[in-house]
Structure 1
Amino acid sequence: MKDRLSDALYGLGWATVKKLPEPVATGLGRRIADQVWKRRGKSVLRLEANLARVVPDAGPDRLAELSRAGLRSYMRYWMESFRLPAWSKERMRNGFEGEGIHHLVDGLASGRGVVVALPHMGNYDLAGAWVTTRLDTPFTTVAQRLKPETLYDRFVAYREGLGMEVLPHTGGAAFGALARRLRAGGLVCLVADRDLSASGVEVTFFGETARMPAGPALLAQQTGALLLPVTLWYDETPVMKGRVHPPIEVPETGDRAAKTSVMTQALADAFAGGIADHPEDWHMLQRVWLADLEERRA
């Protein structure tokens, strides 16, 4: 029943929110965010616990302020996502402004393939729509399997409608397909700040140990593709902002595991810099640090 209800609510969002005038949708998203924040549920408390590591000197009032802003940012992501299928290509092209875009453009022009790795910041679907429209570049990504299957199918159809190729995240089965896309000079975009496999790489993240997926670093090593971290954020304008960070190079020495560890730590450092600058736009409502995961298991 819960799965069917989730599927129905997402379907209702895509069917109705895109038809609302933009100021109405914006106001609705903010009101929903504030109501969720006031209830102080598990997701809000988890967000505050995560933000406490990002902003360690923040007191309770500051953390509450950040979590409220974080819920509003997260709901802005959803309202935009529900409305994106109705946006014109011109609107998508003008919906994002980025720094360091030359790293991505030059990497694609080199023909060696590019892996873009992002944290759960801003609206990565909007950034992807910008890539497919402004740069006229299709790309491949991976989506977590959701329940029910109909909900997963909704997300796949939504992202494919924005010009993305979507592969299921099923125990690493997508790795070979991603490698083939990269060897052909293509673009792969992966959300990479939370390990879903329980076999990720341990990194130091805001001073504590977390695990992040090894995929971006392994793909870059095995295919020769460029590895680019990207961070996203909102400000008071309707246009999302972002930064393409300098490429992470493959170390010259060490075995595959050692190289993967170094490269994934460099990704974590780039993510941490972007998150520290815009903590309210990091939409992480799940456990990330090993101490929290071990606490849950206990």
Structure 2
Amino acid sequence: MRRPTTTDLYVLAWRHVRRLPDPLVRGAAHLVADVVWLTRTAGVRQLSRNLARLRPDLDPRALSRTTRAGMRSYLRYFVEAFQLPGWSPERIDARVRATGTQHVRDVIDAGESLVLALGHTGNWDLAGAWASRHLGPVLTVAEKLPDGLYEEFVAFRGSLGIEIVPLEGGTTFRRLTRLARAKPQLVPLLADRDLTAHGVEVDLLGTPARVAAGPATLALVGGHALLPAALSYERLHGERRRRAGTPWGLLIEFGEPVATRTPDGVRRDVVAVTQDWVTALFTAVARSPQDWHMLQKVFLADLDPARLTDVPRAEGA
């Protein structure tokens, strides 16, 4: 008998989790998150280190509580991803609250695309599903995954109104640039972790880190506006909770556009623009650190020194 693959398990979850009672699914997710947190896996330990650097004001007890809440938030994202294809537009609308949307609408209404710099926070799939209906078409990049899993994710996100470009070398940027110029749309890029080994070294709220150059590069080359967008969970109450069918909502905070040119019209460099969106984004992320789902290495102190050779750096980083 064939052993089930990761793809098989994901497909099974997408087909059946949505049919289970929400309290049961949430309870199971919390249980799994707590067990993983208690076993102190490598991912949990890295999450704790990342949160300690993001929020150095947390004492050991507060850091432990935040890490546990972080694992619950991370599992909540996965459960919601499996439930999301079964949600009605009305339920999605009840789940999401957005601020700063005028910054986005100003660009889209002018007939231009804009780039959004995101971190692995909250639920970016839910945010994309909401934005594709209320703000404009959504175009993004996804890492190629093995065993047919990438195709399943493309189908899943396509059902939410999100167009995907695969991350596969130099052709990715060229295709993304061409599509972004074709029509007004939102181009959100998860950029708080560098997957290319060609990232930018920045000061992440006082600690050296490395992030992806993609948002700044695309905005500069394509002449697009660049905005940070922070996602976090918030508790729902009353009528909104009833319509959402869950106690958890998603807050999208669109920041102000990051300057891509100097006051005299000269195009700024990738490193400076990247530093600006990182500062703006993580100032917001630090207010809800438990919703930063970063179980991988981001800060320079954790990264392999061999990968840091010739990495562009922001001034002072």
Q: Normalising by the residue count of structure 1, what TM-score does the alignment of the two structures yield? A: 0.92
- Partner-residue secondary structure (3-state), 1:168: strand
Partner residue, 2:231: 232
Partner residue, 1:10: 10
Q: CA separation in 2, counterparts of 1:10 and 1:62?
A: 33
What's the CA shift for 1:295?
Answer: 6.7
Q: CA separation in 2, counterparts of 1:188 and 1:27?
A: 34
Q: Could you tell me which amino acid in structure 2 is paired with residue 151 of structure 1?
A: L
- Partner-residue secondary structure (3-state), 2:131: helix
Assess, with a 3 A threshold, how the Cα gap between structure 1 residues 265 and 254 changes in structure 2: closer, same or farther. Answer: farther
Assess, with a 3 A threshold, how the Cα gap between structure 1 residues 296 and 42 changes in structure 2: closer, same or farther. Answer: farther
* More displaced stretch, 123-132 vs 200-209: 200-209
Q: CA separation in 2, counterparts of 1:235 and 1:296?
A: 40
The residue correspondences of 1:174-193 to structure 2 (distance < 5 A) are 174-184=172-182, 185-193=184-192
Partner residue, 1:110: 110
The residue correspondences of 1:124-163 to structure 2 (distance < 5 A) are 124-135=124-135, 137-148=136-147, 150-163=148-161
Q: CA separation in 1, counterparts of 2:175 and 2:221?
A: 13
- Partner-residue secondary structure (3-state), 1:233: strand
Q: What do residues 225-258 of structure 1 show as CA deviations (whole Å, max 9, x unaligned)?
A: 11111001112222211200000111327987x6
- Quote the RMSD (CA, aligned, Å): 2.0
Q: CA separation in 1, counterparts of 2:18 and 2:306?
A: 38
The residue correspondences of 1:193-208 to structure 2 (distance < 5 A) are 193-208=192-207
Partner residue, 1:293: 303
- Partner-residue secondary structure (3-state), 2:231: strand
The residue correspondences of 1:217-296 to structure 2 (distance < 5 A) are 217-237=216-236, 238-252=248-262, 259-294=269-304
Gaps spanning 5+ residues in structure 2: where? 237-247, 308-317
What's the CA shift for 1:188?
Answer: 1.1
Q: CA separation in 1, counterparts of 2:126 and 2:31?
A: 22
What's the CA shift for 1:270?
Answer: 1.4
> In the alignment, is the contact (CA less than 8 A) between 2:205 and 2:283 conserved in 1?
no
What's the CA shift for 1:34?
Answer: 0.9
Partner residue, 1:211: 210
Q: What do residues 162-197 of structure 1 show as CA deviations (whole Å, max 9, x unaligned)?
A: 111111001131212222232233321111111100
Q: CA separation in 2, counterparts of 1:50 and 1:82?
A: 27
Partner residue, 1:173: 171
Q: CA separation in 2, counterparts of 1:80 and 1:74?
A: 10
- Partner-residue secondary structure (3-state), 2:235: coil
- Partner-residue secondary structure (3-state), 1:209: strand
Q: CA separation in 2, counterparts of 1:255 and 1:176?
A: 23
1:67 equivalent in alignment to 2:72:
no
Q: What do residues 19-66 of structure 1 show as CA deviations (whole Å, max 9, x unaligned)?
A: 111111111111111111111111111100101101113222111101
Identity of aligned residues (%): 43
Q: CA separation in 1, counterparts of 2:169 and 2:87?
A: 34
What's the CA shift for 1:294?
Answer: 2.3
> In the alignment, is the contact (CA less than 8 A) between 1:37 and 1:71 conserved in 2?
yes
- Partner-residue secondary structure (3-state), 1:239: strand
Q: CA separation in 2, counterparts of 1:44 and 1:247?
A: 34
> In the alignment, is the contact (CA less than 8 A) between 1:93 and 1:133 conserved in 2?
no
Q: CA separation in 2, counterparts of 1:177 and 1:295?
A: 31
> In the alignment, is the contact (CA less than 8 A) between 2:29 and 2:79 conserved in 1?
yes
Q: CA separation in 1, counterparts of 2:261 and 2:207?
A: 24
Q: Could you tell me which amino acid in structure 1 is paired with residue 270 of structure 2?
A: T
Q: CA separation in 1, counterparts of 2:94 and 2:50?
A: 32
Partner residue, 2:310: none
> In the alignment, is the contact (CA less than 8 A) between 1:200 and 1:214 conserved in 2?
yes
Q: CA separation in 2, counterparts of 1:93 and 1:234?
A: 14
What's the CA shift for 1:5?
Answer: 3.3
* Number of residue pairs aligned between Structure 1 and Structure 2: 293
Gaps spanning 5+ residues in structure 1: where? none
> In the alignment, is the contact (CA less than 8 A) between 2:115 and 2:224 conserved in 1?
yes
Q: CA separation in 1, counterparts of 2:164 and 2:266?
A: 31
- Partner-residue secondary structure (3-state), 2:170: coil
